[in-house]
Amino acid sequence: MRGMNFEGFSDAYDESARLCILRCLAEQGDYRLTDSMLDDLMSDRYAINRGRGYVRTQLAWLEQSAGAVRLIRSSEPVVIAVLTEAGADHVLMRSVLPGIKRPSAGGR
Protein backbone atom coordinates (compact mmCIF):
# COMPACT_ATOMS: atom_id res chain seq x y z
CA MET A 1 0.00 0.00 0.00
CA ARG A 2 2.42 2.54 -1.23
CA GLY A 3 1.69 6.15 -0.41
CA MET A 4 -0.60 5.47 2.56
CA ASN A 5 0.41 7.05 5.85
CA PHE A 6 -0.96 5.57 9.07
CA GLU A 7 1.18 7.70 11.36
CA GLY A 8 -0.98 8.99 14.18
CA PHE A 9 -3.79 6.51 13.53
CA SER A 10 -3.33 4.76 16.87
CA ASP A 11 -3.48 8.08 18.74
CA ALA A 12 -6.64 9.12 16.90
CA TYR A 13 -8.21 5.71 17.57
CA ASP A 14 -7.41 5.95 21.28
CA GLU A 15 -8.78 9.50 21.45
CA SER A 16 -12.04 8.33 19.87
CA ALA A 17 -12.26 5.33 22.21
CA ARG A 18 -11.78 7.60 25.22
CA LEU A 19 -14.66 9.81 24.09
CA CYS A 20 -16.84 6.71 23.63
CA ILE A 21 -16.03 5.60 27.19
CA LEU A 22 -17.00 9.01 28.56
CA ARG A 23 -20.24 8.99 26.58
CA CYS A 24 -21.15 5.53 27.88
CA LEU A 25 -20.56 6.67 31.46
CA ALA A 26 -22.51 9.91 30.95
CA GLU A 27 -25.57 7.91 29.85
CA GLN A 28 -25.76 6.06 33.17
CA GLY A 29 -27.95 7.38 35.98
CA ASP A 30 -25.10 6.99 38.48
CA TYR A 31 -22.31 7.77 35.95
CA ARG A 32 -20.56 4.46 36.58
CA LEU A 33 -19.94 1.17 34.78
CA THR A 34 -17.68 -1.83 35.23
CA ASP A 35 -14.87 -2.41 32.76
CA SER A 36 -16.72 -5.48 31.48
CA MET A 37 -19.90 -3.51 30.83
CA LEU A 38 -17.88 -0.80 29.10
CA ASP A 39 -16.19 -3.39 26.92
CA ASP A 40 -19.61 -4.73 25.85
CA LEU A 41 -21.00 -1.25 25.15
CA MET A 42 -17.91 -0.19 23.22
CA SER A 43 -18.23 -3.25 21.03
CA ASP A 44 -22.00 -3.03 20.51
CA ARG A 45 -22.35 0.72 19.99
CA TYR A 46 -19.05 1.86 18.57
CA ALA A 47 -17.50 -1.28 17.01
CA ILE A 48 -14.44 -0.97 19.24
CA ASN A 49 -13.57 -4.61 19.79
CA ARG A 50 -10.24 -4.50 21.57
CA GLY A 51 -11.15 -6.34 24.80
CA ARG A 52 -11.15 -5.54 28.50
CA GLY A 53 -7.40 -5.04 28.62
CA TYR A 54 -7.67 -2.21 26.12
CA VAL A 55 -10.61 -0.69 27.99
CA ARG A 56 -8.65 -0.84 31.24
CA THR A 57 -5.65 0.82 29.60
CA GLN A 58 -7.86 3.66 28.36
CA LEU A 59 -9.57 3.97 31.75
CA ALA A 60 -6.19 4.25 33.47
CA TRP A 61 -5.19 6.96 30.98
CA LEU A 62 -8.49 8.81 31.54
CA GLU A 63 -7.92 8.74 35.30
CA GLN A 64 -4.21 9.54 35.41
CA SER A 65 -3.76 11.89 32.46
CA ALA A 66 -7.10 13.67 32.17
CA GLY A 67 -8.91 13.30 35.50
CA ALA A 68 -12.01 12.39 33.49
CA VAL A 69 -12.82 9.26 35.48
CA ARG A 70 -12.18 7.86 38.93
CA LEU A 71 -11.49 4.14 39.15
CA ILE A 72 -12.67 1.92 41.97
CA ARG A 73 -10.86 -1.38 42.25
CA SER A 74 -13.19 -3.02 44.74
CA SER A 75 -12.59 -6.67 43.99
CA GLU A 76 -10.48 -8.43 41.43
CA PRO A 77 -11.02 -8.68 38.57
CA VAL A 78 -13.64 -5.90 38.54
CA VAL A 79 -12.81 -2.25 37.92
CA ILE A 80 -15.57 0.33 38.24
CA ALA A 81 -15.23 3.61 36.35
CA VAL A 82 -16.99 6.72 37.63
CA LEU A 83 -17.34 9.83 35.46
CA THR A 84 -15.89 12.96 37.07
CA GLU A 85 -17.05 16.53 36.59
CA ALA A 86 -14.13 17.11 34.21
CA GLY A 87 -15.21 14.12 32.10
CA ALA A 88 -18.84 15.25 32.06
CA ASP A 89 -17.80 18.77 31.06
CA HIS A 90 -15.86 17.34 28.11
CA VAL A 91 -18.83 15.26 26.91
CA LEU A 92 -21.12 18.29 27.25
CA MET A 93 -18.60 20.46 25.34
CA ARG A 94 -18.13 22.84 28.28
CA SER A 95 -14.39 22.23 28.27
CA VAL A 96 -11.78 20.34 26.27
CA LEU A 97 -9.50 17.64 27.66
CA PRO A 98 -6.38 17.03 25.56
CA GLY A 99 -5.97 13.44 24.40
CA ILE A 100 -9.71 12.86 24.10
CA LYS A 101 -11.58 13.41 20.85
CA ARG A 102 -13.74 16.50 20.94
CA PRO A 103 -17.44 15.69 20.77
CA SER A 104 -19.28 17.05 17.78
CA ALA A 105 -22.48 19.04 18.05
CA GLY A 106 -24.27 16.19 16.27
CA GLY A 107 -23.44 13.72 19.03
CA ARG A 108 -21.07 11.40 17.14
Q: What is the pLDDT of residue 8?
A: 65
Q: What is the pLDDT of residue 77?
A: 86
Give 23-82 pLDDT, tens digit per residue: 999 999 999 999 999 999 999 999 999 999 999 999 999 999 999 999 999 777 899 999
What's the rounded Cα separation, in Å, for the pair 17 and 83?
15
Number of helices (H), then strands (E), belonging to the chain: the values are 4, 3
What's the rounded Cα separation, in Å, for the pair 58 and 38?
11
**Domains in the chain, CATH or no CATH each:** 31-101 (1.10.10.10)
Is pLDDT of 2 > 70?
no
